[in-house]
Structure 1
């Protein structure tokens, strides 16, 4: 339950304004939804104007890194070369690769090829081949603020089946973005993603989803892409989270590489694709911060 402040107290958000002219009506709305049985976010999930500005500056680097990868990626290059690009561009622009060292992850970026769902580890021994599809998942820290997005790249002459998977996965992400409607449950968004995949004959990974992001790499809420309408936390203005569906050509079952304890594969070894954006919920809908 939210604690109401005195009307003339300074607002909890740090704006320096009195509560009555800042977040009093906002809190009343949240309390109303909580009484109606909805899950409401805690105050620490709401980003201030300073937070949002910091995330946007971090995102400039993150997107520049992915642009550079897109310019240089080709058949015959190793995934370690991609990692080198990410580390070089990020650091030259003043940022820090968020992946490097995160919970022991050994590289600056995740590079997941074909049947690798996510968390592929770059290596000089993994060489991109004509016909591959690859997800490059990049995350950046700048002045303590985090940005996170990923893109799919198609290498050379890619089969029509893989091209369609990449395209439909992007459409799934876009369906999720369109379903980010303020003051509605996040399950509505996840359902929109899942339904578009199912309508096109694909499945969505259940065990891994999006997440809050900005002041830390991974924050609440957990963002499922297979959720039911009307469930989950309300999407409230000021929240920042990622939408990043992992869509499989075959079944939705996955397994983790026992040797490196990171890379996730499709159980049937059929291709998987993923796109990721980081967005801000506003009263007018979603604002993309990093894509």
Structure 2
């Protein structure tokens, strides 16, 4: 069932999502070669709780009922999504790490992701990140009343495949509100004019997951981490938005991250 949000509910969603953006900015401050992904998780959880929220990812069950053990997902290089932070994963020069973060505050959820460069990254990989981020905003441009979910997916798919990248199909965006995952599902592929009609007040998380090689993925033995089958790099960017009558209202923000990164931002 799809729940349209009132203006007051959208403002509560905005507060949770802006906290996610600020949390990702705190992470941006410490990402460098030699840092473990577990350190990033500790920074995130402390910041989220200090701001009166709880991390929605921690304890969230997978398809087997196993609870996620951390507050953020940290997916490095060929890992697409749901990487588990670990003291054994040490970031090194040339890596990229997707950090996906969720918060719960005042009854509503926030959800956003950003793929960071660790030190100097190959230009081929930077382009993957750039195109994936562009695809996110191209998708958002189509999140307006009167269009359909297929218009969002089509726009993302066309932009990425025109650059010869793979578009992951098994994992998708989603509705968001009082629960982190609500209806509808929001694929990053599709046909124009197909799918659920977009209405004002629909709040969704749009999150392109794009690969440098083909789109085939595999699940690691931990039951969470998803990586590319060909072990080529992947990128992941996500915003939570509210469908508007004119243009989408982006409730999360990369502004805080980009203030930290400066000219090194993607």
Give the RMSD, CA atoms, in angstroms. Answer: 0.9
| Residue in 2 that maps onto 1:188 | 151
Alignment of 1:261-280 (within 5 A): 261-280=223-242
Query: Is 1:87 the counterpart of 2:72 in the alignment?
Result: no
Q: Which moved more, 1:143-152 or 1:56-65?
A: 56-65
| Residue in 2 that maps onto 1:48 | 6
Larger radius of gyration: 1
Query: Is 1:58 the counterpart of 2:20 in the alignment?
Result: no
Task: Give the CA deviation at 1:181.
Answer: 2.4
Q: How many residues align?
A: 248
What's the secondary structure of 2:52's corresponding residue? coil
Contact 1:168 1:197 in 2 (8 A): yes
> Gaps spanning 5+ residues in structure 1: where?
1-41
TM-score scaled by structure 2?
0.91
User: Which among 128, 133, 141 is matched to residue 170 of structure 1?
Assistant: 133
> Gaps spanning 5+ residues in structure 2: where?
62-66, 254-266
Separation in 1 of the partners of 2:124 and 2:18?
33
Contact 2:104 2:110 in 1 (8 A): yes
Query: Is 1:241 the counterpart of 2:218 in the alignment?
Result: no
Separation in 1 of the partners of 2:19 and 2:250?
15
TM-score scaled by structure 1?
0.84
Separation in 2 of the partners of 1:47 and 1:219?
12
| Residue in 2 that maps onto 1:290 | 252
Separation in 1 of the partners of 2:20 and 2:9?
16
User: Which among 69, 92, 104 is matched to residue 129 of structure 1?
Assistant: 92
| Residue in 2 that maps onto 1:149 | 112
Task: Give the CA deviation at 1:183.
Answer: 1.1
Separation in 2 of the partners of 1:56 and 1:197?
28
| Residue in 1 that maps onto 2:188 | 225
Task: Give the CA deviation at 1:71.
Answer: 1.4
State the Cα deviation string for residues 234-259 of structure 1 (Å, max 9, x = none): 1110000011010000010101002x
Runs of 4+ in 1 over 2 A off after TM superposition: none
Separation in 1 of the partners of 2:7 and 2:235?
34
Contact 1:51 1:215 in 2 (8 A): no
| Residue in 2 that maps onto 1:118 | 81
Contact 2:143 2:244 in 1 (8 A): no
Task: Give the CA deviation at 1:60.
Answer: 2.5
Separation in 2 of the partners of 1:88 and 1:183?
41
Task: Give the CA deviation at 1:50.
Answer: 2.4
Task: Give the CA deviation at 1:211.
Answer: 0.1
What's the secondary structure of 2:41's corresponding residue? helix
Contact 1:250 1:271 in 2 (8 A): yes
Contact 2:240 2:251 in 1 (8 A): yes
